[in-house]
Amino acid sequence: MGNISIKTAEDIQGMRIAGRLASEVLDYITPFVKPGVTTGELDRLCHEYMVNVQGTIPAPLNYCPPGYTPYPKAICTSVNDVICHGIPGDKVLKNGDVVNLDITVIKDGYHGDTSRMFFIGEPSILARRLTQITYECMWLGISKIKPGAHLGDIGYVIQQHAEKAGYSVVREFCGHGIGKVFHEEPQVLHYGRPGTLEKLEAGMIFTVEPMINAGRREIREMGDGWTIKTKDRSLSAQWEHTVLVTETGYEILTQSAGTPAPPEFIVPPAATQQVVNA
Ligand code: MF3
Ligand code: CO
Ligand code: CO
């Protein structure tokens, strides 16, 4: 507790830019996410776009937290029962698949981290519902963000919404503080109790990125050192935004032209005070 950094005005400007760029990679790749494409091709296209068009660095490439081997690709592609950290490769996406594309870019030293779900062709009713409920979970969690709220408030509403739908929340991975460092304090759990854990203050920046399983919450690690799947082989979904705590609530940093609209029940926080007659 107590080690969560408060970003400076300069940091916040840098994080707005990095966040928008990460989201723009998802906008760029969207028309390519179709039956017949390989996850490796999606990685290659995103990597080229980051380096050659944006002048950003793909943060996952060679990322190596303690106990891991260096991550070998520029993005994560998590298909069907893959919960997270799917490594792009020869896998051909086919009609009915669901895939999460998770993008983290570095621009001028700042990280922007965001992910979306994509349907390949026509999804099953279950895939569509799981994806929608998970999107609502992320947004319900974000809607709790304001100074004085607790991290446990976020986890609680996510867990309630997922479990009410008959789904489960992955416990082993969580949201995280982010800035000049990819993963920093705090850990943002996607389950919990209201009023518990750290109190939020304006200027904190962290991700909300719930991983929700259609079946049981237990995970299984693949032999590649990264890929995480559901133990019961049920479908899993995830959405992610990078979010700033503001005086009145929150600001989504990972926004671009193609960002999906929030669910209808979301009431945006009051605009941060602007200086009109400067
Ligand atoms: N982008 C992921 C997150 O949301 C982390 C991926 S780490 C990687 O935190 F090395 F697998 F890319
Ligand atoms: Co993240
Ligand atoms: Co991410």
pLDDT digits (tens, 9 = 90+) for 116-166: 999 999 999 999 999 999 999 999 999 999 999 999 999 999 999 999 999
| Nearest-angstrom CA–CA distance, 74 and 58 | 5
Q: Which residues are annotated as a binding site for substrate?
A: 85, 183
Calpha distance 13→147 (Å, rounded): 20
Over range 2-21, report the average pLDDT.
96
Q: What is the pTM of this model?
A: 0.97
pLDDT surpassing 90 at residue 272: no
Does residue 138 contact residue 240 with C-beta atoms inside 8 Å? yes
User: What fold does the segment set 9-271 form as a domain?
Assistant: Creatine Amidinohydrolase (3.90.230)
Report the pLDDT averaged over residues 211-240: 98
Q: 63, 78, 222, 253: which to mutate for ligand 1, most atoms within 8 A of CB?
A: 63
* d(C-alpha 272, C-alpha 259), whole Å: 21
CA distance 262 to 278: 32
In the predicted model, is pLDDT for residue 191 greater than 50? yes
Cβ neighbour number for residue 263 with a 10 Å cutoff: 13
- Pocket-testing residue among 56, 87, 100, 104, ligand 1, by greatest number of atoms within 8 A of Cβ: 104
The predicted structure's pLDDT at residue 204? 98
